[in-house]
Chains A and B, each alone.
Chain A
Amino acid sequence: MDDASSKEALQALRLLLLTVESTSAESEQLRELLLGQYELDELSALRKLLFGEQLRQIAELQRRLDDAKIRSREVSRILPEAIILRAARDKHLVKALSPVFEEAFLSLLRREPRKFAESIAPVIGPAVRRSIQLALAQLLQSLNQTLDYALSIKGWSWRWEAFRTGKPFAEVVISHTLLYRVEQVFLIHRKTGLLLQHVVAGSIQFQDPDLVSGMLTAIKDFVQDSFGETERGLETLQLGDLAVWIEQGPHAILAVVIRGIAPQSYRAVLQDSLEGIHVEYGYLLDEFDGDAAAFESCRPQLERCLQMQLKTSPASTNKAVPALLAVLGFILVSIVVFVVWSIYGRYRFEDLVRRVDAVPGIVVLSAERREGKYFISGLRDRLADEPQVADASVVVSWEAFQSYEPEIVRRRLLSMLQLPRTVIMEFRDGMPRFTGWARRQWLVRAQEVVTAIGVDKADFSGVVDLDSVRERLEARELYFSSGTQLVDGQRIDAIVSDLKLLDEAKKAFGIRVEILGYADRRTGTKRVNLWLSTARAQRIRDMLVAEGIDPALLEARADKDFLEQRKVKLRVFLLQE
Chain B
Amino acid sequence: MQKKVCMVGGFAVGKTSLVARFVKSIFSEKYLTTVGVKIDKKVVRVNDKEITLILWDLAGEDEFLQVRMSYLRGCAGYLLVADGTRLPTLEKAADLRSRIERELGRLPFVLAVNKLDLDKQWEVDDAAIRDFGAATWVKTSAKTGEGVEEAFAMLVRQTC
Interface residues of A (CB under 8 A from B): 189, 191-195, 207-208, 210-211, 214-215, 218-219, 221-222, 224-225, 289-292
Q: Is B135 an interface position by the 8 A CB rule?
A: no
Q: 1/0 per position for B27-42, CB-CB distance to A under 8 A?
A: 1000100011101110
Chain B residues numbered 82-125 whose CB sits less than 8 Å from any CB in chain A: none
Of the listed stretches B7-15, B73-81, B126-134, B141-149, name the one at the interface; the rest are far from the partner chain: B73-81
5 contacts between A and B (CB under 8 A): A210-B54, A211-B54, A221-B73, A222-B35, A291-B2
Measured CA separation A221–B67 after assembly (Å): 13
CB-CB under 8 A for A210 and B26, given A215-B39, A290-B2: no
Nearest A residue (CB) for B40 = A211
B26, A192: Cβ atoms closer than 8 Å: no
Q: Is B136 an interface position by the 8 A CB rule?
A: no
Chain B residues numbered 25-75 whose CB sits less than 8 Å from any CB in chain A: 26-27, 31, 35-37, 39-41, 51-52, 54, 56, 68, 70-71, 73-75
A193, B54: Cβ atoms closer than 8 Å: yes
Contact of A194 among B31, B54, B68, B70 (CB under 8 A): B54
Contacts of B41 in A (CB 8 A): 208, 210-211
Q: Is B3 an interface position by the 8 A CB rule?
A: yes
Contacts of A292 in B (CB 8 A): 2
Measured CA separation A194–B76 after assembly (Å): 11
In this complex, the interface size class of chain B, counting residues with CB under 8 Å from chain A, is 20 to 34
Known: A192-B2, A290-B4. 8 other contacts (CB 8 A): A189-B74, A193-B4, A208-B41, A211-B27, A211-B40, A218-B39, A218-B56, A221-B71
Measured CA separation A208–B71 after assembly (Å): 20
Nearest B residue (CB) for A212 = B39
A211, B39: Cβ atoms closer than 8 Å: yes
Contacts of A208 in B (CB 8 A): 26, 41
Contacts of B40 in A (CB 8 A): 211
Measured CA separation A118–B93 after assembly (Å): 73
B52, A225: Cβ atoms closer than 8 Å: no
A214, B70: Cβ atoms closer than 8 Å: no
A210, B2: Cβ atoms closer than 8 Å: yes
Contacts of A192 in B (CB 8 A): 2, 4, 73-76
Looking at the assembled complex, report how far the CB atom of A399 sits from the nearest CB atom of chain B, in whole angstroms.
Answer: 77
Nearest A residue (CB) for B51 = A290
CB-CB under 8 A for A290 and B1, given A192-B74, A192-B75, A210-B54: yes
Looking at the assembled complex, report how far the CB atom of B32 sits from the nearest CB atom of chain A, in whole angstroms.
Answer: 11
Contacts of B71 in A (CB 8 A): 218, 221
A224, B2: Cβ atoms closer than 8 Å: no
A218, B37: Cβ atoms closer than 8 Å: yes
Contacts of B3 in A (CB 8 A): 290
Query: Which of B26, B41, B54, B75 counts the most chain A CB atoms within 10 A?
Result: B54
